[in-house]
Structure 1
């Protein structure tokens, strides 16, 4: 190796980023955190890990400058969640039969319907008057769509529920309760695909 080689400070070309990078003041997901998580998801899908569709759904990443564009990563995570859920469904159908899978999905759907049978504005616990929670009317609107999906077969996709966003209000619905019900509904949607 020559002394010129030792003084060469140019960096080796790096691998192309998996997603578009943010620029300017826009923040995106931390690249290494996303790459590490997706590598674990790939290993789980290929049988070398224990990551589940539910783990993918609750994954979160720090927001940083020059990070991955959030919408692109979220869309990819939705596809990963769908793939892991389908694999789980296929494994259960092979081991316990399609009837057991359908019965489990039906039971989960009934629990959701029973919960949403509560009167509007009283479907979830509320935060205190000085604390913010999800806006009640917006959550009730989405809850009504879930009921129509489960009861009447009206179209509703996992992507629509994943993208549900609610404004905040004092005395609103408790976020963790609403999020848990949305997650359970996504599980049912993925089960019957």
Structure 2
């Protein structure tokens, strides 16, 4: 028996059993909006930061998280490259490099503070990111910014910290990691 309709394969593998993944409808809608925004160069509806901050609810039989995150990384890279090219054509290389260097120096100043004092802490009754883990990652990123030692954008995107009472405030750490990704993408 043949059918006139064809079924397109899902863009990502789905989770099985009790494992949850990203909501397929939300992912598909976001990726379609990203495609449209990217194809219409004059559109400013979506940028690299929007892609980096995309979040999806978790559902059973959802898309595999790692696969979607990898695809989002590639989409973010494409948006960032286009934004870099536009900024270079508008402001010139000197202004673009100057802005990226200034942001990089601000990050470096934060990350080279004394260990255990790089970010604000949550109260002792609350959980924040593990201080020792954040400090270790901060050291690696600082070495990258100072000497270009090997850290990739994907490594920064994928970093995850365990929680501890009285740890670093998540929002501050996440904001700095987002800024690191922006600088890394800006310099290509």
TM-score of the superposition, structure 2-length normalised? 0.94
Residue matched to 1:28: 21
Of stretches 13-22 and 151-160 in structure 1, the one that deviates more from structure 2 is: 13-22
Structure 1 moving runs of 4+ over 2 Å: 12-15
In the alignment, is the contact (CA less than 8 A) between 2:112 and 2:139 conserved in 1? no
* Separation in 2, partners of 1:160, 1:117: 19
CA RMSD of aligned residues (A): 1.3
Q: 2:46 aligns with which of 37, 43, 51?
A: 51
In the alignment, is the contact (CA less than 8 A) between 1:132 and 1:169 conserved in 2? yes
Residue matched to 1:40: 33
- Structure 2, unaligned runs of 5 or more: none
In the alignment, is the contact (CA less than 8 A) between 1:43 and 1:49 conserved in 2? no
Residue matched to 1:70: 65
Q: CA deviation at 1:13?
A: 5.0
In the alignment, is the contact (CA less than 8 A) between 1:29 and 1:61 conserved in 2? yes
Which string of whole-angstrom CA distances, capped at 9 and with x for unpartnered residues, describes residues 78-106 of structure 1?
A: 00000000000001111111111111110
Residue matched to 2:179: 184
* Separation in 2, partners of 1:111, 1:175: 19
Of stretches 174-183 and 43-52 in structure 1, the one that deviates more from structure 2 is: 43-52
Q: How does 1:1-193 map to 2 (within 5 A)?
A: 14-47=7-40, 48-193=43-188
In the alignment, is the contact (CA less than 8 A) between 1:40 and 1:49 conserved in 2? no
- Structure 1, unaligned runs of 5 or more: 1-9
Rg larger in 1 or in 2? 1
TM-score of the superposition, structure 1-length normalised? 0.92
* Separation in 2, partners of 1:119, 1:40: 43
Q: CA deviation at 1:49?
A: 4.9
* Separation in 2, partners of 1:71, 1:175: 22
In the alignment, is the contact (CA less than 8 A) between 2:110 and 2:118 conserved in 1? yes
SS in 2 for 1:77: helix
Which string of whole-angstrom CA distances, capped at 9 and with x for unpartnered residues, describes residues 61-85 of structure 1?
A: 0100111000000000000000000
